[in-house]
């Protein structure tokens, strides 16, 4: 949260209750929620917060490099409070999105740069399939 406040101040953005609440909600969630889910989670505590504010704040956080947007195969974005891009595992059965923390997939961008002449800012690696729990159930 200090990180949020610092980053906001550094960029002449105001530190508001809403922004803190949105960031905290995202940070405390392990489910890579989308804007609407975040809004729903906030509603009990902050009934007046608007969905538009959630969208605007998330967009701001992404542009400040505070969080990352991940584009799962729905046509809605999910958000990850970890700003550093890392692979995700997406279960097609239960729709959960997990981080793949231990990854041997870190230096792909560098290899791609050498191969292509692109200057790569970001990589996105998603694996789609069934998680162990869903395999068992089926």
Question: If we measure between CA atoms, which residue out of 127, 73, 121 comes closest to residue 98?
Answer: 127
Task: Rule CB under 8 A: choose which of 13, 20, 69, 97 binds a second copy.
Answer: 69
Binding of residue 126 to a second copy (CB under 8 A):
yes
Binding of residue 10 to DNA (CB under 7 A):
no
Q: How many whole angstroms separate alpha carbon 135 and alpha carbon 7?
A: 42
Task: Rule CB under 7 A: choose which of 38, 49, 70, 91 binds DNA.
Answer: 49
Task: Rule CB under 7 A: choose which of 1, 45, 73, 75 binds DNA.
Answer: 75
Binding of residue 129 to a second copy (CB under 8 A):
yes
Residue keyed to tokens 């162990």: 132
Residue keyed to tokens 């995202």: 26
Task: Rule CB under 7 A: choose which of 24, 27, 29, 46 binds DNA.
Answer: 46
16 versus 127: smaller Cβ distance to a second copy: 127
91-to-6, 34, 42, 124, 129 alpha-carbon distances in Å: 35, 16, 25, 17, 5
Half-sphere exposure of 9 (CA within 13 A, CB side): 6
Phi/psi of residue 75, nearest 5 degrees: -100, 50
| Residue length of the chain | 138
16 versus 137: smaller Cβ distance to DNA: 16
What is the total count of residues that contact DNA (CB under 7 A)?
27
Residues in the site for a second copy, rule: CB under 8 A? 69, 71-73, 75-77, 87, 89, 91-92, 98, 100, 102-105, 108-109, 111-113, 115-132, 135
């Amino acid at each position: 949260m200090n990180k949020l406040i610092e980053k906001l101040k550094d960029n002449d953005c105001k530190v508001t209750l809403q922004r803190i609440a949105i960031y905290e909600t995202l940070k405390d969630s392990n489910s890579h929620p989308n804007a609407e889910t975040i809004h729903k989670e906030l509603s009990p505590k902050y009934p007046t917060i608007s969905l538009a504010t959630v969208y605007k704040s998330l967009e701001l956080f992404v542009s400040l490099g505070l969080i990352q947007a991940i584009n799962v195969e729905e046509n809605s974005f999910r958000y990850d409070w970890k700003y550093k891009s890392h692979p995700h595992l997406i279960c097609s059965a239960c729709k959960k999105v997990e981080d793949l923390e231990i990854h041997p997939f870190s230096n792909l961008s560098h290899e791609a740069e050498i191969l292509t002449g692109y200057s790569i800012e970001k990589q996105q690696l998603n694996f789609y399939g069934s998680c162990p729990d869903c395999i068992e159930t089926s």
